[in-house]
Chains A and B, each alone.
Chain A
Amino acid sequence: MSHYEGMRSPLSKARGLGSAKSGVEHFWIQRVTAVALVPLSLWFAFSLAQLGRADFFAVRGWVHAPSVAVTLVLFIAAATYHSALGVQVVIEDYVAGEAMKLACLLLNKFVHFIVAAAGIFAVLKIALT
């Protein structure tokens, strides 16, 4: 420590000690998807409510509409991403043992990607046929 340490500005002390440019993706994307999911979840819940006791053709017709299909894809993408990040934190908090934790983290990512791919493919199949 040099004798003039106290004269350095907070910025110059912080410089070179690492940036917040990376390493915060988990925290940040969790928040970005959270904000996106506020309108998307409200839309989804109230749309399903409006479908009421709709039969196969009515539900399929609803998904077939371009605006609905696009919003559904956005909802599935944001929900599965947010869910994968959230479950990851729960695994990191509660699963003991490195091997078991790694296995759970891998399984978490795989299952969420499968759910996202299957859900989005189903919507697109209905929308494009």
Chain B
Amino acid sequence: MSNETTPAPTRQIDRPMSPFMLGPYYRFQLTSVLSFAHRITGIGLSIGTLLIATWLVMLAAGAQSYNQVVPHLHAWYGEAILFAYSWTLMYHLCNGIRHLFWDAGKGFDIPTAYKSGYAVVIVSLALTAAIWGLAISHGALR
């Protein structure tokens, strides 16, 4: 039997498959990365909302309960979570406004999608900086 008679389905097909496409075969673009980030920050904010509700429940439970939370809020990981939450919220908010414009049928062309994408990154970082500037002026991180 020659190789030529081997039926097609038994041959090893060496094709890159979906998850391995990312990076070597799939070139990331600003627009797709921002799109993934919208979903990931959305999930992050769901967890953030859970933490906010927990914080409010501990606050309602009284001084003793709340003072058990305070050391965690001022610990390095607490401050890291608060910082992550603030940028995540501002990013999802800005990119959400971008999505609302798309829902209205505006800004779909590639140059505008890139411009609005850069604007989302810059404005979300500026708002995060403003939040932390205000927080530090009110004694945070001390």
* CB of A87 closer than 8 Å to a CB of B: yes
Question: Min CB distance, B25 to chain A, in Å?
Answer: 22
Give bound CA distance, A66 to B140, whole Å. Answer: 25
- Are the CB atoms of B42 and A126 closer together than 8 Å? no
Considering only residues 83-116 of chain A, those with a C-beta below 8 Å from chain B are: 83, 86-87, 90, 111, 115-116
Tell me how many residues of A have a C-beta within 8 Å of chain B.
Answer: 40
Q: How far is the CB of B55 from chain A (nearest CB, A)?
A: 9
State whether B96 touches A49 (Cβ < 8 A).
Answer: no
Provide the main secondary structure of the chain A interface: helix
Answer yes or no: B139 CB below 8 A from chain A CBs.
yes
Closest A residue to B136 using CB positions: A52
Q: Which residues of B contact A55 (CB under 8 A)?
A: 70
Chain A residue nearest to B85 in the complex (CB)? A45
* Cα distance A63–B70 in the bound complex, in angstroms: 17
Stretch at the interface among B4-12, B60-68, B111-119: B60-68
Contacts of A60 in B (CB 8 A): 59, 66
Give per-residue flags for A28-40: 1 if the beta carbon is below 8 A from chain B beta carbons, else 0. Answer: 0001001101100
Report A's interface with B, CB cutoff 8 A.
31, 34-35, 37-38, 41-42, 45-46, 48-57, 59-60, 63, 72, 76, 79-80, 83, 86-87, 90, 111, 115-116, 118-119, 121-123, 125-126
Which positions in B face A, CB cutoff 8 Å?
A: 39, 42-43, 45-46, 49-50, 52-53, 56-57, 59-60, 63, 66-67, 70, 74, 86, 89-90, 93, 96-97, 99-100, 103, 127, 130-132, 134-140, 142
Known: A34-B96, A49-B135, A80-B49. 16 other contacts (CB 8 A): A37-B96, A41-B93, A49-B131, A50-B134, A52-B136, A52-B140, A54-B138, A56-B63, A59-B66, A60-B66, A76-B52, A76-B56, A79-B49, A87-B42, A118-B57, A119-B57
